Structure 1
């Protein structure tokens, strides 16, 4: 088989948001190797850079943080570029603690505590800073002349890789709280395994598609045809999702870790992109602005927003 005909390897998170991708495969001839990354976007950044996947469908803030932080020596060309928009709506991140943590009552009681994250730079990490920013926990340090903020609103970032480990850690007192998508967390609230402290929405549309730099041609070359084909088939999968809610509910509640009621409720909150091609620079600017404020990204280091996007909408 010639090299250019190799199947695309698509990294995705095996949660409810993956349903249109499943439909694209099941009904619209998307012929690709789907590789699940339950530990999320941060792990896919690593996989793209090591050449283990070609495409990633993950959280906006994780992709932007990955490119904004790269130094030339560390990752060469960064390994990937933003090529498409998968979900238009923001993500609702639930803030969770252990079932038996009477000391944690409100979001404000989390300041200075230990936050559990899947990986440094992942959505669960970045959203800690978004939360801190929204609560005014980021205060300028006297030492900083550049006006960057004291970006340590938490006493520790406990790296735990998976959602399961995060739940375990808050119950075993290895971390004080963590943030994960609302509906994925909900069944564990209902079961009494973890307790909900609050929630916060991403200040941007939540899911983007990235492609390995090997598939993104230089000036005037455009995208690899397989990526174009993927997005067309994904558009059809999304259309199918929108037109067949019962099939979506059945898939989510039988193949994934959600109750039927939660699947129905989630359907009301999510809007996928009807045309996945391209990314709006305004969205990336907004992420970069907040990550800069949080000290996750340093001004004039790493990639600029316009450089991160291979296909603009």
Structure 2
């Protein structure tokens, strides 16, 4: 039985992986798939791929594209979540900031450089016509718990994180959400280390086939809204709203979409160049 390590954020988007692992579906195909939670997000997972700590990552599209261009020897093999990720823009509950425009020139909390919380501050700045060099400043806070501490203690002024995962912190008065910033592209992809892919492409195909069958029918699973609410500490009405706007994918990202993403990242000076499709994506 081959052992394969996979990583992702411990969020509702990845519940399908937990369900298929719990059901032993990979072991039935001779694969010992070991899941690792990465609450620190994309930047930490990029490093884990580089260090060979994991073979596969379920990872934010913009983050892995940036890291592959910067030398991460991995390839995108499939889109995992087709719909945009809705990032909430959060401040401490007692902060004097009331609107997004108030945040111009203040300090953003980010999990780490190259993470989604870092890159999306640029998208938000562009959306609001800020100067990308003068109006952005950053404080590294590692993860969501670090953001709570950083915003509460005033080390940072605002923080972008997935809307529904932070909703309980808004509900309990830790954060206030003053706006939203959706990703202008499909939000999650599945990336695999190239070295691993060269010798284990059939096993990767098997894994994709299993997870795709589950995501295809994910919303039809009985009481899935209650399962998500209980597991992630969310209100059931919030989970139902999230399910309405979230669409999983079972397909590879097409060339035009990859080009469009790169153009936007290049315009924001997040990536130094636009590379060809095959440098980022491998069809298996």
- Normalising by structure 1, we get a TM-score of 0.84
Work out whether residues 44 and 56 of structure 1, in 8 Å CA contact, stay in contact via their aligned partners in 2.
yes
Closer/same/farther in 2, CA of residues 153 and 294 from structure 1, 3 Å limit: farther
Quote the offset at 1:306 in angstroms: 3.6
- For 1:240 and 1:7, locate their aligned partners in 2 and report how far apart those are by CA, in whole Å: 27
- For 1:109 and 1:306, locate their aligned partners in 2 and report how far apart those are by CA, in whole Å: 42
2:101 corresponds to which of 102, 105, 108: 108
- For 1:9 and 1:213, locate their aligned partners in 2 and report how far apart those are by CA, in whole Å: 14
Counterpart residue number, 2:8? 12
The answer to whether the aligner puts 1:120 opposite 2:121 as a matched pair is no
Work out whether residues 219 and 243 of structure 2, in 8 Å CA contact, stay in contact via their aligned partners in 1.
no
Across the two proteins, how many residue pairs are aligned to each other?
279
Correspondence list, 1:129-278, <5 A: 129-138=122-131, 151-154=133-136, 156-217=137-198, 224-246=201-223, 248-273=224-249, 275-276=250-251, 278=252
- For 2:141 and 2:222, locate their aligned partners in 1 and report how far apart those are by CA, in whole Å: 34
- For 1:259 and 1:298, locate their aligned partners in 2 and report how far apart those are by CA, in whole Å: 42
Counterpart residue number, 1:33? 34
Work out whether residues 108 and 156 of structure 2, in 8 Å CA contact, stay in contact via their aligned partners in 1.
yes
The answer to whether the aligner puts 1:296 opposite 2:270 as a matched pair is yes
- For 1:310 and 1:166, locate their aligned partners in 2 and report how far apart those are by CA, in whole Å: 35
Quote the offset at 1:105 in angstroms: 1.4
Closer/same/farther in 2, CA of residues 10 and 253 from structure 1, 3 Å limit: same
- For 2:222 and 2:82, locate their aligned partners in 1 and report how far apart those are by CA, in whole Å: 18
SS at match of 2:160: strand
- For 2:220 and 2:14, locate their aligned partners in 1 and report how far apart those are by CA, in whole Å: 16
Unaligned runs of 5+ residues in structure 2 are 28-32
- For 2:276 and 2:272, locate their aligned partners in 1 and report how far apart those are by CA, in whole Å: 11
1:281 corresponds to which of 219, 232, 255: 255
- For 2:232 and 2:203, locate their aligned partners in 1 and report how far apart those are by CA, in whole Å: 28
Unaligned runs of 5+ residues in structure 1 are 139-149
Q: What's the RMSD between the two structures over aligned residues?
A: 1.8
Instruction: Map Cα deviations across residues 94-133 of structure 1 (whole Å, 9 max, x no partner).
Output: 000011111x111111111101111101111110111111
Higher relative contact order (CA 8 A, sep 6+): 1
Quote the offset at 1:211 in angstroms: 0.4
Quote the offset at 1:226 in angstroms: 1.1
Closer/same/farther in 2, CA of residues 233 and 91 from structure 1, 3 Å limit: same
Quote the offset at 1:28 in angstroms: 6.4
Counterpart residue number, 1:56? 57
Closer/same/farther in 2, CA of residues 166 and 6 from structure 1, 3 Å limit: same
Closer/same/farther in 2, CA of residues 55 and 131 from structure 1, 3 Å limit: same
